[in-house]
Amino acid sequence: MRLSKEVVCLAFAFDAMVTTSARADTLSDLEAPFLNAIQSGRFGLALGLTFVAGLATSLTPCVYPMIAITVSVFGAHKAKNKAEGALLSTAFVLGIAALFTPLGLFAATTGGLFGSLLSSPIVLLGLAILFLVLAASMFGAFELDLPLGLKNKLARVGGLGIKGAFLLGLVCALVAAPCTGPILGFLLTWIGTTGNILFGAVSLFAYAMGLGLLFWLVGTFSINLPKSGPWLEWVRSAFGIVMVVAAGYYLRNLIPGAFTVIERSPVFLLAALSAIAAGIALGAIHLSYRDSAIGSRYRKSVGIGLTVFGFLALIAYFEALPPGEKIEWLKDYGQAKERALEKKRPLLVEFGASWCAACGQLDRLTFSDPRVVREARRFIAVRIDLSPGSDSEQKRAILASYAHVGLPLVVLHDQTGKETARLTRFVEAETLIEIMRRVP
């Protein structure tokens, strides 16, 4: 199956247009309908929602290296027709499912925290380096391909045919793991708490099928895509910039509070948009490093720098808390619990992390709501931060004491210390207020 490097760019283009809307909000919104479908016995609907959640997950930055690796290997195998291309793509997707399903069940039955990989600085740094390397390839520094020796080894173990595609799917499933947190964390929690391993396995298989749909489409229908024209250089540059921004996004998790200093002000928003516009005007996209003129290459470098800075600033703007009064969060769980019992006040406990998209939603949209802030004044509120640089064994032990897998987790205790409610997904301010008002 012949997949050109330009196919990577086209897949990236499609990904970038929908990534923003397919992140935490889409995934989190699928959790409640899934649970309702399970409780009402509509298992087909539940599986359909799980498949859609997998598809939404495939539209996140973690798919970039997967697509690149897939194209590198499949590009060396020339399919005779679309049927053969579809067969190889199907084997690849089944490889993803073959690894995802048992690993997901293992994580659920052992009670591990899914998504905790993104609390590791080593993993974050590795992802950032990977994105930067792929960006360099998009800018023309080198052509992405696997070494000939590695291709020969793949060929000997079942190689670039059906067996090789299946094995490649097994490997690529690991690369996608960091992006699966929001909905898969919910699935693992449900499997672990209900013990329904059989339906859990089927659900995870459906999730893997949704996750692999994008690769099946790219692998099956990309044979006759156009391969020439100046627009390809522009697409490559555009998504080289996307990858650099993705690298910066992961690295920001290594700097606690990196985005918290940003205020959501019109001046800051205008500055971010201006930087993006100036970078594109200078030549971040339309100029090429293949140009022999030093001035053109210099302009492109400055343009890329400005554009990346502008996009990171734009992300920081949207992740910043809105202006206004905030909940006064304590950081010491033991001290907060003791104070709540002593003063006979309810206790509000939030577990969160910078890599948890739904946690960020709660902070920006729910806990910052003036009505929630007012209601929270009668609570003793404590926030347990599991972000890189703030995580610790002691905090993990506190999370484990609540017998919960994954983030987010918000727990409410009454005046006697008894747990009265818990939230494991994003909820609107109105919902949280109703729950808080029922806590004595």
Q: What is the CATH number of the domain that holds 425?
A: 3.40.30.10
Query: Residue 213 carries which side chain, given as an amino acid letter?
Result: L
Q: What gap in Å lies between CA 44 and CA 430, rounded to an integer?
A: 31
Q: Does residue 406 lie in a domain region? A: yes
Which residue is associated with the tokens 């201006």? 274
Q: What gap in Å lies between CA 408 and CA 132, rounded to an integer?
A: 29
pLDDT value, residue 21: 35
pLDDT value, residue 60: 58
Predicted confidence (pLDDT) at residue 2 exceeds the cutoff of 60: no
The answer to whether 145 and 71 have CB atoms below 8 angstroms apart is no
Does one domain contain both 275 and 360? no
Q: How many residues does the chain have?
A: 440
Q: What gap in Å lies between CA 23 and CA 361, rounded to an integer?
A: 11
Q: Does residue 285 lie in a domain region? A: yes
Q: How far is CA 275 from the centre of its chain?
A: 26
Of all residues in the chain, the percent with pLDDT exceeding 90 is 24
Does one domain contain both 309 and 201? no
Q: What gap in Å lies between CA 216 and CA 26, rounded to an integer?
A: 22
| Count of structural domains within the chain | 3
The answer to whether 88 and 1 have CB atoms below 8 angstroms apart is yes
Does one domain contain both 313 and 339? no
Which residue range forms the structural domain that includes residue 401? Answer: 333-437
Does one domain contain both 351 and 403? yes
Q: What gap in Å lies between CA 186 and CA 196, rounded to an integer?
A: 14
**What does the pLDDT average to over 298-311?**
94
Does one domain contain both 206 and 305? no
| Structural domain ending residue among the three candidates 225, 253, 274 | 225
pLDDT band at 169 (very low <50, low <70, confident <90, very high): confident
Predicted confidence (pLDDT) at residue 226 exceeds the cutoff of 50: no
The answer to whether 182 and 27 have CB atoms below 8 angstroms apart is yes
Does one domain contain both 20 and 162? yes
The Cβ-side half-sphere exposure at 60, using a 13 Å CA radius, reads 26
pLDDT value, residue 399: 92
Does one domain contain both 138 and 60? yes
pLDDT value, residue 149: 61
Q: How far is CA 338 from the centre of its chain?
A: 36
Q: Which has the higher per-residue pLDDT, 427 or 34?
A: 427
Q: Does residue 36 lie in a domain region? A: yes
pTM of structure: 0.58
| Structural domain ending residue among the three candidates 225, 245, 270 | 225
Q: Does residue 249 lie in a domain region? A: no
The answer to whether 250 and 124 have CB atoms below 8 angstroms apart is yes
pLDDT value, residue 324: 76
Does one domain contain both 49 and 114? yes
Give 250-280 pLDDT, tens digit per residue.
Answer: 787 676 666 666 667 888 899 999 999 999 9
Nearest to 248 by CA among 332, 315, 321: 315
Does one domain contain both 149 and 271? no
Does one domain contain both 84 and 216? yes
Does one domain contain both 105 and 67? yes
Q: What gap in Å lies between CA 413 and CA 406, rounded to an integer?
A: 20
Q: Does residue 134 lie in a domain region? A: yes
| Structural domain ending residue among the three candidates 206, 225, 244 | 225
pLDDT averaged over the chain?
A: 75
Does one domain contain both 161 and 16? yes
